[in-house]
Amino acid sequence: MKTNPVDKEEIIENLSHINTLINHKQVYGKQSAPYFIVWGCIWIIGFLISSTGAISIIQLTWISLGIIGWLFSGIIFLKQKRLDPMPKFLKNQFRMVWLGFMFIIYIVVFLIGSNLLPLSFHYLSLYSFLLVSILYILLGIVLTRIIFLMGLWLVILGTVTYSFFLDYMYVIFAILGGGCLLLTGILFNRKGIKNE
Q: Going residue by residue through the chain, which has 196 residues, state the pLDDT in tens, using 9 for 90 and above.
A: 455 555 666 666 656 656 655 555 555 667 778 888 888 888 888 888 888 867 778 778 888 888 888 888 888 878 877 766 666 666 677 778 778 888 888 888 888 888 888 877 667 777 877 888 888 888 777 777 777 888 888 888 888 888 888 888 888 888 888 888 888 888 877 765 554 4
Q: Is residue 6 part of a domain?
A: no
For residue 117, being part of any structural domain is answered with yes
Nearest of 149, 150, 158 to residue 125 by alpha carbon: 158
Contacts of 33 (CB under 8 A, 6+ apart): 184, 185, 186, 188, 189
Within its chain, how far is the Cα of 8 from the centroid? 40
**Contact between 158 and 130 (Cβ < 8 Å):** yes
Contact between residue 175 and residue 50 where contact means Cβ atoms under 8 Å apart: no
C-alpha to C-alpha distance for 129 and 145, rounded to whole angstroms = 20
pLDDT at 196: 45
Specify the pLDDT at position 27: 59
Assess if residue 22 is contained within a domain: yes
Within-domain flag for 177:
yes
Quick check: is 44 in a domain?
yes
CA neighbor of 139 nearest in space, from 37, 8, 28: 28
**Any domain includes 30:** yes
Which amino acid type is present at position 83? L
Contact 29, 22 (CB under 8 A): no
CB 76 within 8 A of CB 38: yes
Number of compact structural domains in the chain: 1
pLDDT (0 to 100) of residue 65? 86
Task: Quote the CA–CA distance of 22 and 13 in Å, as a whole number.
Answer: 14
- Report if residue 2 sits inside a domain: no
pTM of the predicted structure, to 2 decimals:
0.67
Domain presence at residue 165: yes
How far apart (Å, rounded) are the C-alpha atoms in residues 41 and 24?
A: 27
Range of the domain at 176: 15-191
Q: Is the separation of the CB atoms in 125 and 161 below 8 Å?
A: no
Query: Which of 126, 108, 125 shows the shortest CA–CA distance to 117?
Result: 108
